Amino acid sequence: MRKYEDSIPLKLLKAREATMSFFRPALQSIPLTEQQWRVIRALVEHGELESKQLADLCCILSPSLTGIISRLEQQDYIHRRRSPEDQRRVLISLTDKAEQMFDSVSPSLEARYQEITKQFSKKNMQQLAELLDQLCEIKP
């Protein structure tokens, strides 16, 4: 068996923690969890979505997303509405408050990306992104 330290899942967890250490200080300036931020970020990028789409994009299990959506709605960051085409579908979108918050914190997060790129190199960042995309395509 592979050595514990050579475990790919362990290395990915360590890499996530190393990466998040760059972003957590900026995220701590807003009243959201990392998962809530991921939801806001996905909605900024993709616009109005159904919860299943949002769960897939954010890598959050649907039962967990339900609570996250409820809290974001209580904080007036998102709103839900029934689809006019199919009343069974619930569409989730951002409020103006969420868009303003996103606009205010985005520059500091982009600066954090620049710092990672400076230390890791633009070439390595592109290569890492490509390799991770390929890894995500592997089927069990």
Percentage of the chain modeled with pLDDT above 70: 100
Cα dihedral: 106, 107, 109, 111 (round 10):
160
What's the chain's average pLDDT?
A: 94
Contact (Cβ atoms closer than 8 angstroms) between residue 92 and residue 54: yes
Range of the domain at 40: 4-137
Q: Running DSSP on this structure, what letter comes out for residue 6?
A: G
Burial class of residue 22 in the structure, from the number of CB atoms within 10 Å of its CB (0-12 exposed, 13-18 middle, 19+ buried) = middle
Q: How confident is the model at residue 2 (pLDDT cuts 50, 70, 90)?
A: confident
Percentage of the chain modeled with pLDDT above 90: 83
pLDDT at 43 exceeding the cut of 90: yes
Question: What are the pLDDT digits (tens) for 97-111?
Answer: 999 999 999 999 999
- What are 50's strand-pairing partners? 91
pTM of the predicted structure, to 2 decimals: 0.87
Q: How confident is the model at residue 1 (pLDDT cuts 50, 70, 90)?
A: confident
Contact (Cβ atoms closer than 8 angstroms) between residue 8 and residue 14: no
pLDDT at 86 exceeding the cut of 90: no
Overall number of domains in the chain: 1
**C-alpha closest to that of 78 among 28, 38, 20:** 38
CATH code assigned at 96: 1.10.10.10
